[in-house]
Structure 1
């Protein structure tokens, strides 16, 4: 049955009482399958929201100061300053234009620097917005269902479904709002053609969301004029909208909203199409929920968070004040917790000890063994005569504490700041590189893993590090990552990348290495650690 509540008056004013009586009379009837509210009036202009709201203010300031303005242009082609997205692809360009047409215009040097910096900030904003959208989509799967396998990112799939919904009913924008665990709020979890900052807004109280409540009760709600009855609480300022329930056979999950920039009707066929699409969304959420809720218990997830935080806390964050030397370290686990770590400490004789450890295994198992290995290194470093002796003693401790099925790699070095002498002992699959202005050298080959046998023969090297040179130690995860991408040439490409930045501080050298890994665009399957020690040039 096509049921329509129609108001002819542009505003509820003199006929307010009459409209209220008609409304009460209508509400006394049983609710139909969907609700229509419309008003016949000239459409209001739709104000499109800017994705970079601060850009207009910056452009106005440049007009006043330099007589030129800024403009963001979507697309990768063309001139201007690149704005990149989360995947590192150019999504648009920031252009500097004169206020008056001038074919020979060239931006002043100061404006060019400002535009370049703004483009970098816009890139970071866009990456954060995209990451937030993906995270919200992942949180949308927080519903109790059975375990199913899912391969694609839920955010990508929901975006595809929403785009299809817009195309099918000729809408302008779409959004998915999910109920929280307490069934008291609706939070935006996925959207198409809405400003990214919508994800930063607080959740909507369900008690005040009249249209969503009616939809969750089982009725599709069609609002042909959202301004006529504002208490229906359309979440976006669009002239017309349609709200569809998202639910499984037993649980309400949230609502699907389709918005239109023009005053319009949604036909019965269109609402039925949207109900089918809402069912598809519920299926997508069911497919993904187990990846975060059923694969591990909630208690295990909390433990992993605590272990990951503890591992990060144990990594060194304050550099030692060592004149003429600079160092930087980075560790990233493939999962929440892992077996990689790096460390540095000053010895009693004034030497600097550096460590890169890499324990085989995953998650809690690897994290526990990594903690034991790091503790053993610190304990033995107090009285070991040299790096080789320390690695042998640590191996004996590691082997004694395991059942014969725990293995690890370890690189341990001692730096003598006054002479520049560095001695390094290695056991396992870590990698060491000597980087100089003239070239680079791989310092050792792979050897027996810690824990493989009671007595091992660690690789041992001594080098006199010249000013302006650096030594880099990497865990096996970095070595495997580079080898899988480029074979034996992967290490060479990595070393050359570091050498190109050798004049920079250790932090920047390390960042260059991380950027190279990121550009390989491969899934991170192993824990990764990079440690850079540089001897500063003489002044």
Structure 2
């Protein structure tokens, strides 16, 4: 910049007031009398202001380059905000400054290996001109000092201009030290420290270089760990919000109609659930009762389950038979995706006056009618919704007598030799329900919940009961 202002003075006859270089608009003083100046003061001031604005923009661009180069050191983690980037780049610069000043040198730089370990790119520097950071990477092939440092930790070049010197410096200095920067014993780059004059490099200087290289590696590890922790914290907050939303969508246990009690639970080993249950009194006075499960091993199961729930709710207000409603949900899932939204769904309508009901199921949902005399199974496994277009489920008629319980659940609740090694047998479920129904229907689901929680791992599962008292 000094060269620019010197040229400005020579060409215009006006010089920059030293006191205005960093504060406010530039102020000009005449080098010669105003009559002999090639520009008027107003024109010179306008030119100086434009130049000052360009200089500010250039400084900002240089700082951005410094931050971005430091950011590329930790490219395996999510990008940080500009303030965090500035903090990390400042810490790297402080380490480089400490290394240079500790040895009595004038400059230092950190070069990082690329993913192919074929080139070295300057990522941070001290004592060099900022534009050096945007210079193209240099090839590792032929970089003898860097290669030797990666083998023997550190290399000393006491006189870079000596004809007997084997190693060369990537920057035009008289002497240099090159030390390897490694993580877990694996080189990730090199640290260079330079001086303007040839110098005797003793063991103390080499130890300082090794320590500085180790400090750079530590700063990189610490920054990566910090960002990973912050990213996990943000993810945890998001997942907790989704989990809480899912819990709020589940209906509470209640006497749904005179002489009828309904309860249910949904459990998941993962942060969010892929199954749900619901019930309601339909416009025609019948009881609507449903459980569902999305088939996916990843977190998208929560979104698939929410889509199925929305489709179910949008159709449940119409006078539809269970198989008609399930068919409409299947059509909605098929039309809103490419066939990957696989969902198991069980839906039943029960007349609270007579106990007569109709049930339709798709996929791996289960339903049994339980009483003190035993149980009878109502369902069997089939293809889940969205397996193919034009899904045609069938209705299953049943009747609940006073004292009987309709139990429904998703696939993971029932143990199966072919598909599910976990869960419980139908006899075990019947025993749990029969044991606790005597104390009241409100004791059944808590007992099932305790069994689920105490089990090793059952994945996503939902169970619900409808008890006719």
Normalised by the size of structure 1, how large is the TM-score?
A: 0.43
Rg comparison, structure with higher value: 2
